[in-house]
Each structure stands twice: as C-alpha cells, then as structure tokens.
Amino acid sequence: MCRAPWWSVCAAVALAACGGGNASVPDAPSGGPYPPMADAARDVVDTTLAVDIGARTATATITLAPSPSTGASFEIGDLDIASVRLDDAELLWSDAGDRLDVGVPPSTEPLVLTIGYAWRPHGNSDGVSPSGYTLTWPYWCGNVFPCRSAPSDGTTFHLSVTGAASPNTIVFPTAIPTEAPAYMAAWIVGEYTRLDLGQTTAGTKVAMWHLPGGAVSAQAGGAHLRDAFDWMEQHLGPYRFGGEVGTVAARWGAGAFGGMEHHPYWHVATAAMADEETNVHEAAHGWFGNGVRVRCWEDFVLSEGTVTYLAARVLEAVGGTAVSDPIWARYTAALDAMRAGTGNGVAWPQSCGQVDILADGLFSQVPYIKGAFFYRAVADKVGRDPLDQALRTFYQRWGGKAAGMQDMLDVIEEVTGYDPQACAQAWLVETTVPAVAACP
C-alpha cells in the first residue's frame, strides 16, 4: 500500500444475549440445530461474492474446510445479516456486534455457507466509499463482506458486481485463483477507458484504466509498467493472481497520493497515475505482501520495504538510471528527514500479533524507507544479482503462504552466504537511522 503522502491496514453464545440472529431453524441439518458458536480459527477455503451496488445488498458464499468444530465466526463490521444457510437449511447464527457466529455441523467434507446481507457506504477509507471504490486495508473487510482480516489468512475469491449506472463501468476481478488476503478483494466504479500496454513474455496482459482526462497521466505512469511486470515474472517467479493485471485510477479525494494493492487490478490515486514508481510499487505487491502474505502486522516491512526497494530496482533494470535515480533521490530525501528527527522509528517490531498497525503507528514511512535502504545495503554487500536470486528463492518457497521478515533474512543468508542479521538490526530494529553505507 502507498497512501498520502507518497508512501501512502470457543464458546457457545446464548441467543438471548446476542444483538441479533434467528430464533428457530426449520429444515435443520442432521444432528442439529447447532447453537451459534464462536470459532475464528475455522479455515475459509473460498469466498464468493455476488454484490448489487445499487441495492447495497450482497450474498457471500463461503466454503469452510472440513472440521470437527460446530462453529464458525466472521468479522462483519456494520453489515446487516439477513440469513445464513447451509444448502436448503437455515442455520442458527448470532450477530455479536461486529462478529457473526454460526452453528454448523461437524464435517469431514467442505461446508458451503450462504450469507445474505446488506452493507452501508463508508466515507473514511474503511469499506465501500460513496465515490464508488472499496478500500478495506488493513482490517475493514467486515464492512464489505463476512471475512477474516488477519494478514496471514488467505482464501480464493470469486466476484460478481452489478448495478452501476451508465456510463460507468465496474472494474473487478471475477476470480482471484490462489490464496489472497481479504483486503485484495475489491471493486471500483467509474467512467473508465482502458489503455492496453501489451503482454509479458509469460502472456500476462497489462493495462491501465483511466478516467476522463487521464490518458496522458496513464501513458506516463505506465511507460515501463509492462516491462517491469515482465521483469518480475522472469526474475521473481510466476504471477499468482490471473492473466490480466493493471492500474485503475481511483478518486480518493484531494491530497491523496499513492496506491492500494488490490491485485490483479490495483488502485492508484488520480494524482499519482503519472508516477511510475507508484505503479510499479503496487504491481510488485503481487509478489510481496499479496503473493507472500505477512505473518503478522509486525512483518509489514516484508511487504512494503521489499516493494519500495523493488520499484527502484526494477525501473532501473527496464528504464535505466534516468528513471531510477530520481526515485532514489526521493527515498533519500525521506531518509534525511527521518535522520533529522521527523520520522525515526522501528521498521520491524520484535513481536508478532501485539501491534495494531494503525493505532500503534507502524503505518508510516519508516517500514517503506528503512526497508528499501536495508535491501540496498544488502545489495551493496553481496551484489544485486545475488539479492535478486534470494528474493526469487524466497518467493518460490513462500508463495501462497504467510511468512515473516526473519524468514527473508534466513533465505538471504542461505542464497548469498552473507548473514544480514546485524544489517537488519541497524536498519529495521533500531529506532535511529544508520549511515548510508553497505551492511557490516
């Protein structure tokens, strides 16, 4: 994610005590009805959404993995749940405020729940915006669909979004075919024109979707996007989220800059559409942050520090130093400001699951900039090509799964023979900014 400024988220429940729910279950499943049970660990295999943006209603069809548990829980924010069914049987459920608890039968086969609900618009980048886009990072997916927002959780998605008024179109992926974090599922509405940028060597179609008057900015911001995506497919590994990708312009409002990694169609603020670094930054999340999920928010630098470095690295590879030097100059200016005391901080907190990424201030320029300079220092020590190979090995090993920054350090040492622990300590763990130099 890159937002303003430029770098820029088991106990049975007694039904009478719940804020909402159903009272009886006709056609209950064999062995039931089962009372609503809180179980946030029940694995979600697939989430299929059918959304009517005009009516503000939706159906979520959620496939649960086999389990002996008789409960399943989902974050629901301020959704209005209408029904929860398993096949033709209504299930007992309870609305616990911002959590939906459901009673389900134990099963040795996947269970498919159908949840009908209504949603509300949100004007604070925490759900479905009245301006036509969704933004749920880091933990607002429950304002859009029943979900699990932990960054380590992953599910496949299938989407159908209808109800846009002419001449608007809706840009969204009909499928996200491999496991992805909940914030990736998104749609955006606007009067879009598609700008084709061509295909990569692997056959991935790359495009940009711009709003009226945005063609020139799209052409500038996408000048090297196809080549950059091709480089990442060739040097990091196959892309996981479909055969068509690209940037979609988002009306985020005055002062907004940056983007959001809603792969395969990532959103970029209209003011940033002409910025190549922003477009490649968001594209690189297809490998780090999305392709490999972070284990917990403390590992945020594994996502943002890595892609901040990669944006400059890849644009130099495909566009030369004339393109990359201004990017590093911008990074350096941010680092100098941090060194002067206007942004020092820890990029990689040494805990897991203890940090609220928004409330505790981890969402700042620190993981982005310190992370990028950590990787640059490693590259200065071992060479850029060996570091590229380490990134590739890491992606091949952890693609489709959740990992932490320590896992990256272990792979760097394994591939290059250099132990980056002291370098990571200086750049990522300490609050101060080290001198810009190679790793020790």
Could you report the per-residue pLDDT of 311-363, keeping only the tens digit for each?
999 999 999 999 999 999 999 999 999 999 877 899 999 999 999 999 999 99
Whole-number pLDDT of residue 435: 84
Query: Across the chain, what does the average pLDDT equal?
Result: 93
State the pLDDT confidence band at 436, using cuts at 50, 70 and 90. Answer: confident
Whole-number pLDDT of residue 23: 41
Tell me which fold the domain 192-286 belongs to. Answer: Zincin-like (3.30.2010)
- What is d(CA 414, CA 78) in angstroms, rounded to the nearest whole number? 47
pLDDT at 7 > cutoff 60: no
pLDDT at 11 > cutoff 70: no
Could you report the per-residue pLDDT of 217-253, keeping only the tens digit for each?
999 999 999 999 999 999 999 999 999 999 999 999 8
Closest CA to 11 of 68, 56, 70: 70
In CATH, 294-429 is 1.10.390.10: yes
Could you report the per-residue pLDDT of 156-187, keeping only the tens digit for each?
999 999 999 999 999 999 999 999 999 999 99
Domain boundaries, the chain: 15-182, 192-286, 294-429
pLDDT at 12 > cutoff 50: no
State the pLDDT confidence band at 32, using cuts at 50, 70 and 90. Answer: low
Cross-sheet strand order for the sheet of 80-86: 89-90, 80-86, 111-118, 57-64, 44-52, 155-162, 175-180
Tell me which fold the domain 15-182 belongs to. Answer: Immunoglobulin-like (2.60.40)
| Low-confidence winner among 29-33, 274-278, 415-419 (lowest mean pLDDT) | 29-33
Global confidence as pTM: 0.93
pLDDT at 29 > cutoff 80: no
State the pLDDT confidence band at 417, using cuts at 50, 70 and 90. Answer: very high
Whole-number pLDDT of residue 332: 96
State the pLDDT confidence band at 22, using cuts at 50, 70 and 90. Answer: low
DSSP three-state, residue 183: helix
Burial of 31 (C-beta count, 10 Å sphere; 0-12/13-18/19+): exposed
| Low-confidence winner among 86-90, 101-105, 217-221 (lowest mean pLDDT) | 86-90
